A and B are shown apart, each in its own frame.
Chain A
Amino acid sequence: MPVQYTGIVDEHQAVRKNIGMFDISHMGQFVVSGTGARDWLNTLLTNNIEKLGVGQGQYTFLLNDAGGVIDDLIAYRIGEEKFFLVVNAARAEEDFDWLDQHRTDDVLLGDRSTYFGGVAIQGPRVTELLVDLPPRNHIVDVELDGMPVSIARTGYTGEDGVEVFFGANDAVKFWNTVLEIGSRFGIKPCGLGARDTLRLEMCYPLNGSDLSPERNPLQAGLGFFVDLAKPKFVGRDVLLGVKQNGSAEKLIAFRMNGKGPPPRPHYPVFVNGSQIGEVTSGTLSPSLNYGIGMAYVAAASANPGQAIEVEIRGTKFPATIEKKPLYKKTS
Chain B
Amino acid sequence: MNVPDDLLYTESHEWIKRDGDKVRIGITDHAQAELTDVVYVELPKLDRQVNAKEAVAVVESVKAASDIYAPIKGTIVGANKALESNPALINTDPFGEGWIFELKIADESELKNLKDAATYKQQIG
| Chain A interface category by residue count | 10 to 19
CB-contact partner of B58 in A4, A8, A261, under 8 A? A261
Write out the residue numbers on chain B whose beta carbons fall within 8 Å of the beta carbon of A193: 62-63
CB-contact partner of A9 in B37, B42, B65, B84, under 8 A? B37
- Which residue of A is nearest B61, CB measured? A8
Write out the residue numbers on chain A whose beta carbons fall within 8 Å of the beta carbon of B61: 8
Interface presence of B120 (CB below 8 A) = no
Q: Which residues of A line the B interface, CB within 8 A?
A: 3-4, 7-9, 193, 197, 259-262, 264, 283-284, 286, 313
Write out the residue numbers on chain B whose beta carbons fall within 8 Å of the beta carbon of A260: 40
In the complex, what's the smallest C-beta–C-beta distance from A192 to chain B, in angstroms?
Answer: 9
Q: How many Å lie between the Cα of A8 and that of B37 in the bound state?
A: 7
CB-contact partner of A286 in B58, B62, B84, under 8 A? B62
Write out the residue numbers on chain A whose beta carbons fall within 8 Å of the beta carbon of B84: 259
Write out the residue numbers on chain B whose beta carbons fall within 8 Å of the beta carbon of A4: 36, 63
Within 8 A of A (CB), among B60-74: 60-65
Contact A284 B62 (CB under 8 A): yes
- What are the 7 A-B residue pairs with the smallest beta carbon separation, nearest first? A7-B36, A8-B62, A9-B37, A261-B40, A284-B39, A261-B60, A284-B62
Contact B58 A9 (CB under 8 A): no
In the complex, what's the smallest C-beta–C-beta distance from A8 to chain B, in angstroms?
Answer: 5
In the complex, what's the smallest C-beta–C-beta distance from B56 to chain A, in angstroms?
Answer: 13
In the complex, what's the smallest C-beta–C-beta distance from B58 to chain A, in angstroms?
Answer: 7
Give B87-105 as 1s and 0s: 1 = Cβ < 8 Å from A's Cβ atoms. 0000000000000000000
Contacts A8-B62, A262-B39 known; list 15 others, CB within 8 Å.
A7-B36, A7-B37, A8-B36, A193-B62, A193-B63, A259-B84, A261-B58, A262-B40, A262-B60, A262-B62, A264-B65, A283-B62, A284-B39, A284-B62, A313-B42
Q: A9-B36, A9-B37 are in contact. Are A261 and B42 (CB under 8 A)?
A: yes
Q: A4-B36, A260-B40 are in contact. Are A9 and B60 (CB under 8 A)?
A: no
- Which residue of A is nearest B63, CB measured? A193
Q: How many Å lie between the Cα of A147 and that of B42 in the bound state?
A: 51
In the complex, what's the smallest C-beta–C-beta distance from B121 to chain A, in angstroms?
Answer: 23
Write out the residue numbers on chain A whose beta carbons fall within 8 Å of the beta carbon of B40: 259-262, 284
Within 8 A of A (CB), among B36-65: 36-37, 39-40, 42, 58, 60-65
- Which residue of B is nearest A7, CB measured? B36
- Which residue of B is nearest A194, CB measured? B62
A-B contact pairs, 27 of them (CB 8 A): A3-B63, A4-B36, A4-B63, A7-B37, A8-B37, A8-B61, A8-B63, A193-B62, A193-B63, A259-B40, A259-B84, A260-B40, A261-B40, A261-B60, A261-B65, A262-B39, A262-B40, A262-B60, A262-B62, A264-B64, A264-B65, A284-B40, A284-B62, A286-B37, A286-B62, A313-B42, A313-B58
Q: How many Å lie between the Cα of A285 and that of B39 in the bound state?
A: 10
Q: How many Å lie between the Cα of A286 and that of B61 in the bound state?
A: 11
Q: How many Å lie between the Cα of A264 and that of B61 in the bound state?
A: 11
- Which residue of B is nearest A289, CB measured? B39
- Which residue of B is nearest A6, CB measured? B36
